[in-house]
Amino acid sequence: MSSSPPPATGSATVPPLDPALAARLKRTDTGLVCAVVQQHDTREVLMVAWMDDEALASTLATGRATYYSRSRRSLWRKGDTSGHVQWVKRVSLDCDGDALLVEVDQVGAACHTGDRTCFDASPLPVRVGSRAEA
């Protein structure tokens, strides 16, 4: 019995996306859905990525986060080269069907820069509002 993880793409072991779920998705013109990725226990937002039907099907079937790279125009399973794996705990579709919330257990850095999240850069200047002003 092999202990290697299932392939990210093109495998007969990963079934196609359930047609009922596929019908609920509102994709971009290029067939993608936005995926907001969050650490499952702290609720920290780690990154934003894109999924096509194959990436979502692979994610749901394997428990490993798989995304569609718009720059490489191919699937990539998070952590295959860096070791910074995302173990999927839950995936939710938003009310409009145009975004996914992917809750993961992040191993190492989520960002390609080596930062914990893709939002570790300096925050933008903003006038902070309050309820009292409403």
| pLDDT value for 1 | 41
pTM across the whole model: 0.85
Q: Binding-site residues for Mg(2+), please? A: 94, 96, 98
Q: Residue positions in the annotated binding site for Zn(2+)?
A: 95, 111, 118
CATH of the domain at 47: 3.10.20.810
Higher-confidence residue: 126 or 35?
35
Exposed e or buried b for every residue in 34-68, given b needs 16+ CB within 10 A?
Answer: ebbbbbbeeeeebbebbbbbbbbbbbbbbebbbbb
Enumerate the known binding-site residues: 94-96, 98, 111, 118
Q: Which tens digits make up the pLDDT trace of 59-85?
A: 999 999 999 999 999 999 999 999 999
pLDDT tens digits, residue range 6-59?
Answer: 445 444 588 999 999 999 999 999 999 999 999 999 999 999 999 999 999 999
Q: Is residue 96 part of a domain?
A: yes
What is the domain range of residue 49? 19-111
| Mean pLDDT within 80-94 | 97
Domains contained in the chain, number:
1
CA distances from 86 to 80, 93, 110 (A): 10, 18, 8
Answer whether residue 38 is part of any domain.
yes
Q: What is the maximum alpha-carbon separation in the chain?
A: 63
